[in-house]
Amino acid sequence: ALRGPDAENAVIGLGDAGRGVLGLLSALREPGIAPRGFYIELESSRVRDAGEKTVQILLDAAGEGESSGVPRYGDLLRAAYRAAAGVDKPPALLAENLLASPDSRVTVHVIAGLEDPWVAVISDLLLDLRSFLGRGTRGRVVLHLVTRPSPRVKGSFRAAMEDLERTRPFDEAFIVCASEEVLARKVLELILLTIRAPELLLHHGIGPRGGGVFELRGRPRS
């Protein structure tokens, strides 16, 4: 079900981690293998370059701080996303561009930093994508959480991770650990590898699936 002439791939980036991967993806020159890129960002006066081939989804932060006091940045991001998203589907511009036709299938890769305020948005985004893709009938959702080696996840970041672990609003999830200099490249290599060999995303075992270690060495082969 992951192959076929209508099989497609898309990459959605959040925060600095997502922008770094999308920048490399935009510069990729491999016809027939490069997935489409989308960058979700809060609208502001500062332009963030995510690559010329990347579609930018801008969220309006105006009027989202109605609660008493100053909201946490993660809460502001989540409120801005919810204001832009539809009922059980992602923001309109993203939804319009995800599926080329009603019969197509798409594997959506979502990228975010493990210690980034955008983790507050991940659960809502994944649930909307899963619902929009018919809970597996029109596509699948793969989460990539990226981090430096040996992170110490605390506070709201830890709460967000525990919520993801409990609800599992994705078909597959990876935690990619690497030094900052090579992290974006490692994530992109993993995504391209799953496009070339989609069997990596299939669960062949019986019973509950545990975690594992998947190590990238060198460049993936076609």
Is residue 21 a contact partner of residue 111, using CB atoms and an 8 Å limit?
A: yes
Amino acid at 208: P
| Range in 111-115, 120-124, 192-196, 202-206 the model is least confident about | 202-206
Amino acid at 85: A
- The pLDDT score that the predictor gives to residue 74 is 83
Report d(CA 198, CA 187) in Å as an integer. 16
pLDDT tens profile 128-154: 999 998 887 888 899 999 988 877 777
- The pTM of the full predicted model, rounded to 2 decimals, is 0.82
Residue at token pair 């079900």: 1
DSSP character at residue 89: B
